[in-house]
Amino acid sequence: MKISAFALCLAALGAATAAGYAQPSDKPDKNDPLASAAALIADHSTKNGAAPMLTLEDAERIAMAQNPEIHVAARRVVMAEAHVPAVGALDDPQFMYRAWQVPLTKPWDYNAAQNMFMYSQALPGAGKRGLQSSIAQSDVQQAKDDLEDARLRVRVEVRKAFYDLLLAQDELQIHDEHVDIAKQAIEAARIRYTAGKVPQQDLLKAQLALTQLAEHLIRFDRDAAVARARLNTLLGREAATPVEAHGDYEVKQTLPEEQSLVQMAFQSRPDLLAAQAAAEKSHKEQALAKKAYTPDFTVSGGYMLMPAGTSPRNDYMFEGSMTLPWLDHRRHDGEIAEAAAKVTEQEAELEAMRNEARGQIGEALAEARAAQRLAAVYQDSLRPQSEATLHAAVIAYENNQTELLDLLDSQMTVIDVDLGWRQAMGDFSSRMAELEMAVGALPTGAQIGAQIAAPEVKQ
């Protein structure tokens, strides 16, 4: 039900009783208890200015490109990838020169010495280099999962901040509707009170409504400022950057079953994938620890120049060496036991995270369903009922069957219901963001269903 019929009633009332009533001065009366509240509301209306409009898609795109936390996670991926080639490479080869039997009486006479030039290369045991490279690749995968986790968290926080800002803007818009009605109610009550047609209680009741709006305004402005600062921070901008959220709320008709969401989380949630990669890495580390009993080798080859007069004077040499890990059981058995313990710890941590994810999904899904039902109650029942009540009150007032304040109460109820509807929609949007965080992706089933239309702004 539009406010137009109600406004016509107020206009008719003002025209009928305007005679003999002095219009109030534009200057606030210091003795008027409503002066401070009216001044605050008027000051708010003068401060409201145009700000750049930002859609949810734009906010998410900017956040993915400019959020500092995402930049840090991306650099960690680059660092992990750069580490892989170094891990799989052989140790640096060694070159050695050795001079034997140089005469002390002629330390410069190298023709009388044995000159040896040698090149050496260490070769790790079979399979060790492959396992080391695979472990480094696991670090890369973990870094990528951490990057996706950062993107998910930022995207979810952007959505929540966006919908908080959108809700605060809607609250301020509905607040302005409250102000217009409260001012009309006060003036109408004053007119009828001056004419002796209503008791002073009606005037005081209308005045109280305006005073309460000043308190509401402070809270709504605070909510908008906090949401704006949080959104700008997530976008990598100054917290005070002017911005307004532009978009609609969406309530989907169907939500997936919990079990399907749990399976989706195990396959797509970045922190669970990172924990799974860590568990797989621990198995590779255990396999590498068991390779400790595989000996490492060093091969060397060289050229020897014998002292002058020696036959033959030119020789070569070759040598090889290997480690003896079987003689150090205490050390290697300890390393193997430590690696095995890490495997069980990582697997237990993965299972604990999966169990926690099940609980988070269950809670988020319950919250989303409750918010969805509440929004549906507002959409299907409360809004039609409140508008029908207002329509009946307008007809009754036009036929002198009810008082003005009863009509005002009906209109205020309509606006309160619209405010509650928007709050329910904003709450559902935030709950869906939390559900996405718990699942690791937007639930597929939640994309099915029709959008519930936003309420019309009453003029």
Percentage of the chain surpassing pLDDT 70?
A: 78
Low-confidence winner among 15-24, 107-116, 192-201 (lowest mean pLDDT): 15-24
Confidence of residue 415 (pLDDT cuts 50, 70, 90): confident
CATH number of the domain to which 293 belongs: 1.20.1600.10
Low-confidence winner among 5-9, 152-156, 393-397, 404-408 (lowest mean pLDDT): 5-9
Q: Is residue 38 part of a domain?
A: no
Cβ atoms 301, 127 nearer than 8 A:
no
Pick 26 or 76 by higher pLDDT: 76
Rounded to a whole number of angstroms, the distance between the first and last alpha carbons of the chain is 11
pLDDT at 211 over 50: yes
pLDDT at 233 over 90: yes
Q: Is residue 252 part of a domain?
A: yes
Q: How far is CA 244 from CA 120, 175, 306, in A?
A: 68, 17, 87
H or E element in which residue 417 lies: helix 404-439
- pLDDT at residue number 299: 94
- pLDDT at residue number 380: 86
- pLDDT at residue number 197: 66
Looking at residues 216-238, what average pLDDT do you find? Answer: 89
- pLDDT at residue number 420: 86
The mean predicted confidence, pLDDT, of the chain is 81
362/257 Cα distance (integer angstroms): 10
- pLDDT at residue number 459: 35
Pick 46 or 390 by higher pLDDT: 390
Low-confidence winner among 176-180, 296-300, 325-329, 387-391 (lowest mean pLDDT): 176-180
In 3-state terms, the chain is what percent helix, strand and coil (to 5)? 70, 10, 25
Per-residue model confidence as pLDDT tens digits over 327-356 = 988 999 999 999 999 999 999 999 999 999
Confidence of residue 389 (pLDDT cuts 50, 70, 90): confident
- What's the total number of domains in the chain? 1
Q: Is residue 29 part of a domain?
A: no
pLDDT at 11 over 60: no
- pLDDT at residue number 451: 38
- pLDDT at residue number 404: 66
Q: Is residue 89 part of a domain?
A: yes
- pLDDT at residue number 444: 55
Q: Is residue 401 part of a domain?
A: yes
285/290 Cα distance (integer angstroms): 9
Looking at residues 168-185, what average pLDDT do you find? Answer: 75
Q: Is residue 72 part of a domain?
A: yes
- pLDDT at residue number 395: 83
H or E element in which residue 319 lies: strand 314-322
Q: How far is CA 326 from CA 321, 330, 332, in A?
A: 15, 10, 9
Per-residue model confidence as pLDDT tens digits over 23-66 = 444 454 545 544 555 555 555 554 555 678 889 999 999 999 99
- Where do runs of H (alpha helix) occur along 195-257? 200-234
The 3-state DSSP class for residue 97 equals: strand
Q: How far is CA 84 from CA 87, 121, 124, 136, 230, in A?
A: 5, 21, 17, 5, 37
Confidence of residue 104 (pLDDT cuts 50, 70, 90): confident
Q: Is residue 25 part of a domain?
A: no
For 378, half-sphere exposure in the C-beta direction (CA atoms, 13 angstrom radius) is 26
> 112 is in which domain, residue-wise?
4-18+51-447
Pick 158 or 28 by higher pLDDT: 158
Looking at residues 259-287, what average pLDDT do you find? Answer: 92
- pLDDT at residue number 417: 86
Looking at residues 300-317, what average pLDDT do you find? Answer: 89
Per-residue model confidence as pLDDT tens digits over 132-150 = 999 999 999 999 999 999 9
Q: Is residue 211 part of a domain?
A: yes
Percentage of the chain surpassing pLDDT 90?
A: 39
